[in-house]
Each structure stands twice: as structure tokens, then as C-alpha cells.
Structure 1
Amino acid sequence: MTVRIQSIADINLRANQALIGELGVVDTIRFLNQFRAGSGDYTVERESLFRDMTAREIIAEIKSRRTEGI
């Protein structure tokens, strides 16, 4: 039995074609953007943003924003 190993470029091309065929271009881009690396240092930003907040306060803020639709 012979197994053909595909290059990563070929696999990516086929995967993108499948996604575009199923989701369309816009939703494929939205889907793929979930997996892109961001920029900056979230650890440093997080310490700055939440320095004076307790975990309970952070959770309350999240819940508040969810109900406000922000």
C-alpha cells in the first residue's frame, strides 16, 4: 500500500477551498481569524487593566457588559 504525503501548502489549499465552498469567503475569513496570533503582551496589559480589581469585580463587569450588549 502506498500512502501519498501531501505538503502543508496542498492541505491548506484544499482546506481553504472546502471552507469557502461551505461557508463562503466572508465567513471563512471570520473563522480563520480566530486562530491568528495577536500582537502585544496580554500578561502586561492584563496586569495594567485589572490591577485594582478583584476577581468578583471582573466577573461582575463581564456580566454587566453581556446584558448591555457591549
Structure 2
Amino acid sequence: MIDVSKLTQTEIQQLGIDTLSLALGPAGMGLFMHQFDIGRGDYTRDRDEILGNPTIEEIFARIKEKRISQVESSDVLPKVTNMKMLDVTKLSQAEIRRLGIKALTKTLGHPGMVRFMQQFEMGSGDYTRDRDQILGDITIEEIFVSIEEGRQQP
């Protein structure tokens, strides 16, 4: 378990996402996080603008590349290379939530799990309406570069 008192909220968020992805697989991580996301906007209308139009092969290649780089570069997460993926289609939402919270608690401890989950509290404002003012015209590539730069800072 990690001493989360020395981690920033961003580090806890990334570690929590990585933990959920390793424990539940990408689909399970998405299902876990979706339980706490109230959502806004019209993703169906906006997804092509947000994601472009990648092929399924490009999506899988990018996920695989990202997983490998995260596991290899992590000095916190356990080195897991042959983890058996869960078939989340056979799990209930309650089981996914229980497994996700168990994985977060095992990696981050109770305080870290709570800090990770606090980001899902309902806030005020309308990010969907205000995100253009907040982010500007940032591209997905610029977001990845920013994430990598943040990870490399001490």
C-alpha cells in the first residue's frame, strides 16, 4: 500500500484509474466509473468531433500501447503483465463496484480510495457548457503530451 498523503490529487486519480484498469480491465473500469458519473451533453452527437473516426484496430493498438507504457513506467503499480481479464459482462453493477472499491483500497488504502472517490461528488457549474473556455482548442495529442509532462515532474 502507498502513503497517499504524499500524492497529489492528480496522482491519486491516475493511480486509481490504472488500478481499476488492471483489476477490472478497461471495460470494467469504464462500468465502475460510469456508476458515479452523472454526465452531461450529447456524447452521441459530439463523439466524432471528440474522438475522430479511428478504426477498431487503431483503438486496440492505442490501448495496448498505453497499458504497456503505464505498467513499464509505473514505480507505484505492481508489475502485471499476464493478468487474466475479468468478463465483466457476467458481473452485476454491485459486483463491479465491490471489486473496484476493493482494488482501490488494496492499492491506495482507505484514505486514498476515499480521495479517489471524492472526485465523483457532484460539483457546481456546467463543465459541458464551460469546457471550451477552460480548455480552449486543445487536441487529444496535446492532452497526452500534458499528461506525460505531468508524470515526469517530481
TM-score, structure 2 length as denominator? 0.23
| More relative contact order, 1 or 2 (CA 8 Å, 6+ apart) | 2
TM-score, structure 1 length as denominator? 0.48
Larger Rg: 1
